[in-house]
Amino acid sequence: MMRYAHITGWGMAVPERVMTNHDIAQLVDTDDQWIRERTGIEQRRIAGPDETTGTLATRAALRALEVANLRPAEIDLIVVATSSPEHLFPATASIVQDRIGATDCGAFDLLAACTGFIYATNMAAQAIRAGSINNALVIGAETLSRLVNWKDRGTCILFGDGAGAFVLQGSDEPGGVLSSLLRSDGSGADLLTIPAGGSHIPASLHTVGNGLHYIQMNGREVFRFATRVMAKATAQVAEEAGLEISDLDLIIPHQANRRIIEAAARGLKLPLERFAINLNRYGNTSTASIPIAACEAIEAGQLHKDNKIVIVGFGAGLTWGAMAIHWTGPFPAKRKIYPRRYRTVARLRSAWRRSLRRVEGVIYGSKTIK
């Protein structure tokens, strides 16, 4: 029997603190008008001292589980797509798994920069369609404000913090993910990068002194690349799904620059109203931008059950990707689940496992492992 991967839950979380273009003009030589005209961005959210990629991811995930009406323990797989993970390792996905109390699942991070959410949704959908899992949680989460060079006006105006999540579930009913496309062109790896802090150029006084642990970008080149791939990738997945461009109810593009979205609309000969756009309020939240835009499109009545949509994005790598989706929504439920209620149990469980490990350490710790 054919399996289909439906999107049955969605959620978002953004920090409270708003940073306007005027605030940025206090830090670097720029102004509100320049940023608005060249990017369409008016403000972005910035994580507070207690917020991390993991806390934002956890909040978005719990909301998505609420919509899907799914217990954390029913999740088989968590994929966090992020360009600003909490650590090189462990994966932020494992941190989220522990916090929400998903006791019976695998968890990993996926790095495909801003295209990561499309890659992650595709991987989860493939696993569901292959029949190896049934319920997946896919999260895009970022605190890019911690990796941006606040002295570089070419980049610090663009990025913002936030998280968004989808729940994917398997069903024999047709619908959900219809087709997808994932692409990479590593010859452009140097165009958008955090050069140091990985294994190639480990962190040192030199790298920190020269700001090599911050985002570096060739904006003009990335812009040209993005305008080339967005319309083409959208058309390709639509065709593969058997849809005409005019059949598409909504396109949810990666929210990087309004001019890039306008170019895609021209390329597809679609009115701009057919695109979800909220980058004016959040800037570029990398992997989180598509699920956040999806959540707001639903809130605004722009995205409904049975719509045919495309999500499309691009980013460092270079990478790009697109996915055609038949939007179906939550499966019918017999009773209401409250995923948040499991959080206290999750915290106690986590504390219990830590103390058990400590006791084991005392008992076995002095013995050498043979």
Residues with catalytic function:
114, 254, 284
Q: Which is nearer to ligand COA, 189 or 351 (CB)?
A: 189
Q: What CA–CA distance (Å, rounded) separates 56 from 75?
A: 19
Element (H, E) at 107: strand 106-110
Burial class (CB in 10 A: 0-12, 13-18, 19+), 169: buried
Phi first, then psi, for residue 42 (nearest 5°) are -115, -35
Q: Which stretch binds ligand COA (CB under 6 A): 88-96, 150-158, 262-270, 355-363?
A: 150-158
Q: Which is nearer to ligand COA, 236 or 284 (CB)?
A: 284
Nearest of 145, 188, 138 to residue 167 by alpha carbon: 138
Nearest of 57, 51, 285, 83 to residue 198 by alpha carbon: 83
CB of 195 to ligand COA, least distance (A): 16
Contact flag: residue 23 with ligand COA (CB under 6 A)? no
Contact flag: residue 39 with ligand COA (CB under 6 A)? yes
CB of 79 to ligand COA, least distance (A): 19
Q: What CA–CA distance (Å, rounded) separates 124 from 139?
A: 11
Contact flag: residue 256 with ligand COA (CB under 6 A)? yes
Contacts of 63 (CB under 8 A, 6+ apart): 10, 11, 12, 13, 165
Nearest of 314, 5, 9, 328 to residue 181 by alpha carbon: 314
CB of 152 to ligand COA, least distance (A): 9
Size of the site for ligand COA (CB under 6 A): 20
Contact flag: residue 30 with ligand COA (CB under 6 A)? yes
Residue nearest to ligand COA (CB): 219
Q: Which stretch binds ligand COA (CB under 6 A): 99-107, 152-160, 200-208, 272-280?
A: 152-160
What amino acid is encoded at 140 in this protein? G
Site string for ligand COA, 214-253 (x = CB under 6 A): ---x-xx-xx--x---------------------------
What SS3 state is found at 186?
Answer: helix
Question: Checking DSSP bridges between strand 43-45 and strand 216-217, what pairing results, if any?
Answer: unpaired
Q: Which is nearer to ligand COA, 79 or 256 (CB)?
A: 256
CB of 205 to ligand COA, least distance (A): 29
Nearest of 364, 348, 367, 270 to residue 98 by alpha carbon: 348
Q: Which is nearer to ligand COA, 224 or 304 (CB)?
A: 224
What SS3 state is found at 9?
Answer: strand
Of the residues 101, 162, 315, 317, which one makes contact with ligand COA according to CB under 6 A:
315
CB of 54 to ligand COA, least distance (A): 22
Which residues bind to ligand COA, rule: CB under 6 A? 30, 34, 38-39, 114, 153-154, 157-158, 192, 217, 219-220, 222-223, 226, 256-257, 284, 315
